[in-house]
Structure formats: structure tokens, C-alpha cells
Amino acid sequence: LYDKCSYTTLDRGWVLGINNVSGQGNRDPRYFFSLKTDRARKVTTITDHHSYLPNQWVHLAITYDGRLMKLYVNGAQVAASREQVGSIFSPLTLKCKILMLGGNARHQNYRGYIEHFSLWRTVRSQKEILMDMTLVAHEVDVPLPQLVFQETLLNVKSNWLPMKDSPRLPLTELTSHSGYLLDTSLEPPLCGQTVCDNVEVIASYNRIPTFRHRKVVRYRVVNIYDDHHRNPTISQQQIEFQHRQLNEAFSPYNISWEIEVLEINDSSLRDRLILANCEISKIGDENCDPECNHTLTGFDGGDCRHVRQLSFNRKKQNGMCDMDCNSEKYNFDGGDCCNPDITDVTKTCFDPDSPNRAYLDVKELKNKLNLNGSTHLNIFFANSSEEELAGMATFPWDKEALVHL
């Protein structure tokens, strides 16, 4: 639906269709909804987050209430945007509207079937859209006062005109084959195939009980012990308690959790501090980085504490770990504090370039464990330099695992 009176632009109005969202030719076609209001400077386009499947019927719905655009696929909200505001057409151009079916003002045509089309005066809610799907599927004729018009395309010649560049009207095909009939068995897209971090989208899935198909999340807890299978990172009681809490919290959404506990016996890993959010390259860079300010990093390699002037040459490589010299400024006591023959390096080695340092970041821990997230969501445990921090929403989840879900 666009403004035919505008000679400067052809994109004022709205478009629902299929288009490629990547530069890979026709490899990634998706449903989209574009809108440009009367006073907007540019078009806003929202798309489905999954390529459409050819040779399948689909129910598409779009809504705009003057503030919020929404795109629905088979009754499921898959995209939303608040970029556009206000009326689509100004009072002066209300009579300039033209509705095109099967193409747009740029002469881009649609090749496929259309069974039913409805245009409403008011915004339809998600529950009303689901009800519309049922009525269309069963060909129920009920009074709908807010309906501007609906088209079953049975009388194309009497109701529609071809574009001036089109030689003829589209063909009408009548069939009773069940494979061509729109029905309520249409499955909504899985939430993992939509932009589920959008509050509007995920809330729409939570409100519709039929969308809550049973889902199982497989996760793996990595618990590190010392070489003698003692001193675990987390106790078995804590793991079991957390597992129960997860299942109780997610059960209303028909989501269950399957746990696997991986026990690693490695004192060299267990005795080291696993840092969260601290890049090792920042330690000793002459800037105090709060996320690296920990006793086992030497307070960010000495960057976060005042180091008094010392006579370093007298203590350099004297066969003892002198903590006053254990900072980047004094080359971490000339290496004495990272020598396992001299000291307990798990408590004194702060040098980020030493293989014996007392800390690792989460990425290094993952590499040493050689785990991937293709089958499970891996959970690692790390420490934070901020003692008042109780936890973070994305911590300690393995980000790489999300790619495979």
C-alpha cells in the first residue's frame, strides 16, 4: 500500500513480501515488512529470522499502531520495531493510496500463490490473528465490523485491475487438494529461529500456550578437582540444588534441563585463579583495570597499587621471591616469583608472560579442557575481582555454545 501521488519517492507506505537479507544472491530469502510513515526520512524493514521454506503455505500478518511495527508468521510474532512513529499517510494524501497485490511500485513481482487477503481498520492482537487463521481455514463467515475488506481472489477480473506494464491479470486456480489449503496445523517458527532477545517477541511466545512445545536444554557442568580427586570447585550438593532450581523455574514454559557433570582431576588447573572479564594483556599495562585487580594478579601487575621506590638491583635474582619487587615495574622480581623451585607459584607468579602464572582467563581454561558447545551448553566457574558481585546474567555460560542452539 503506497502513496501514488508522490513524485519524489515510491517507498511511502508499507510492503509485505519476500526478499534477500544478505549479499549472497537468492540464498537467504526471508519474509519482510517495510514501512515509511508520512514524516519519516527513511524506511524501516523488519524481517523473519529464518529463511522461508518454498512449496509450503504460510499465514503472514503485519500490524502498525502508530508506534510499533510487528511481523507474524503462522501466528507467531517474529520481529518488531519502534523506529516509525505517526500516521502512514497525511490527511492531504489519504486519497492517494493504492493497494498492489503480487507486486510493488518498483515493478518487483511475486511468483507464488495467494489464497486469502484481509485488511483491517484496527490493529489485530496476536490472539485475534490466531483466530483469523482458524476462520480462514474453515471458511467461517462471521460479521467483522472492523474489517475494511477481504479478498478470496475468486473474482479477480471484477475486483482488480492489472498494472499498466502488466499484460494480463494473474491466473486463478481452483483446487480441492488438501495440500493447497491453509489450515490451523501451521507450525509457528521455533523461538531459536526468531529474534528472541526482543522483549516483544519472547513475550508473545510466553503468552500463547500452544507455542510452548516441550524443549530440553542439555548442559554440562565442568567441575575441577585436584590430582587426588579432592577439593572440587563446587560441591555435588550445590550442583543438585541448582539443577532443581533450574527445572522449577523453567517448567511453566515447558522447558526441562538435562545435566551432565564432567569431573576433571588437575591440580594445576584447580590451584589457579580463573578470571572473569579480565584480558590477560591488560595486566601490567600501566593502567589500573578494575576487572584485573586481584591479589593473585598482583593487583593488576602492580598497576592498581602504589609501589614505593626500591633498590631493585640488590634483590634482583637473589634466589628469593621478594613481593615488594613483584610487579611489572621491577620485572616481577626478575623472574624469581615465577620459579617453582623457589616459591609456590600458584600464590606468587603474577607475570602475564610466564607459563607458571597463578591465573588463567576463561578462554585459556576452555582451550586446556578442549571442550566445544556442539552438544551441550558448557558451564565453567570463574572468579571476579569485584567481591560484591554476586553474579551476572551471562556468567558463566559458554558463549560459543549459543551458536549451535
What are the pLDDT digits (tens) for 312-350? 555 666 788 888 888 888 888 888 899 999 899 888 999
Report the pLDDT value the prediction gives residue 183, as an integer from 0 to 100: 45
Report the pLDDT value the prediction gives residue 367, as an integer from 0 to 100: 84
- pLDDT tens figures, 113-139: 888 888 898 999 998 998 888 776 556
- Residue 131 lies in domain: 13-151
Number of structural domains in the chain = 2
Type and span of the H or E element at 32: strand 29-36
Is 146 in the same domain as 226?
no
Report the pLDDT value the prediction gives residue 105, as an integer from 0 to 100: 66
Residue 355 lies in a domain: no
CB neighbourhood size of 237 (10 A): 8
Residue 400 lies in a domain: no
Q: What does the block give as the cell for 180? A: 493447497
Residue 353 lies in a domain: no
Is 74 in the same domain as 144?
yes
Helix (H, G, I), strand (E, B) or coil at 169: coil
What residues does 216 pair with on adjacent strands? Answer: 256
Question: Residue 77 and residue 68: Cα distance in Å, rounded?
Answer: 12
Strand 97-98's sheet: what is its strand order? 44-47, 29-36, 13-20, 2-3, 97-98
Peptide bond into 232 cis (omega under 30): no
Report the pLDDT value the prediction gives residue 265, as an integer from 0 to 100: 94
**Which residues of the chain are under the pLDDT cut of 70?**
6-10, 22-26, 93-94, 105-106, 136-143, 163-185, 191-197, 307-317, 382-405
Mean pLDDT, rounded, of the chain: 78
Report the pLDDT value the prediction gives residue 279, as an integer from 0 to 100: 85
Question: Residue 91 and residue 3: Cα distance in Å, rounded?
Answer: 12
Residue 294 lies in a domain: no
How many residues would you count in the chain? 405
Write down which residue in 245, 270, 295 finishes a domain: 270
Residue 166 lies in a domain: no
Is 19 in the same domain as 136?
yes
Report the pLDDT value the prediction gives residue 291, as an integer from 0 to 100: 82
CA torsion sign for 346, 348, 351, 356 is: negative
Residue 370 lies in a domain: no
Write down which residue in 136, 151, 166 finishes a domain: 151
Report the pLDDT value the prediction gives residue 106, as an integer from 0 to 100: 67
What residues does 258 pair with on adjacent strands? Answer: 218
Is 126 in the same domain as 37?
yes
Burial class (CB in 10 A: 0-12, 13-18, 19+), 132: buried
Contact 86, 66 (CB under 8 A): yes
Burial class (CB in 10 A: 0-12, 13-18, 19+), 76: buried
Residue 285 lies in a domain: no
Is 39 in the same domain as 110?
yes
